[in-house]
Structure 1
């Protein structure tokens, strides 16, 4: 029986690659496969919230470095945490009613 391929958003792909290539104890390809299964099917926003909650400071910094290199934008670990906090706050708010706002 063929294995179903995992569906990972680009951010999740970066995270899995970073964890697979890490030489930190407990990291590496096997650890990365487990995280890939954990991130399977999640949106970029969900993965960002997961990363801010689940990755330690060093991994968040490594992820920021990787994203900085991939996009040539000045991103740091604090930016990732701040964006994740905003995303969590937006999800906690009730849906906005544009008609109500405009009246």
Structure 2
């Protein structure tokens, strides 16, 4: 039986890798695989909102460390939480029809 290939944005890939490599009780490859299915097909914005809601503070801190190393920019867990809140707010706004604006 072939494994279904999951579509994960780069942020989701970092989260899954981080959870798979974690030595915390209850974490590891099988836990990360379950989370990968939750993150499958989500946009980066949706993954960010998911991380803000679903990851505990320790995992959020580890994710911030991964992002900091990958981007070379200074940020902390409060920045991640703020970005997730903005993502929720933007998602709640009605979509803008550009054609309607032009007419």
Q: TM-score, normalised by structure 2?
A: 0.91
Partner of 1:47: 47
**Shift >2 Å, 4+ stretches:** 95-102
- Structure 1 residue runs of 5 or longer lacking an equivalent are none
- When residues 98 and 8 of structure 1 are mapped into structure 2, their CA distance, relative to the original with a 3 A threshold, is closer
Shift in Å at residue 98 of structure 1? 6.0
SS at 1:25's partner residue?
A: coil
The reply to whether residue 68 of structure 1 matches residue 80 of structure 2 is: no
Aligned residues: 103
Superposition CA RMSD, Å:
1.7
Shift in Å at residue 9 of structure 1? 0.2
Shift in Å at residue 97 of structure 1? 5.6
- Structure 2 residue runs of 5 or longer lacking an equivalent are none
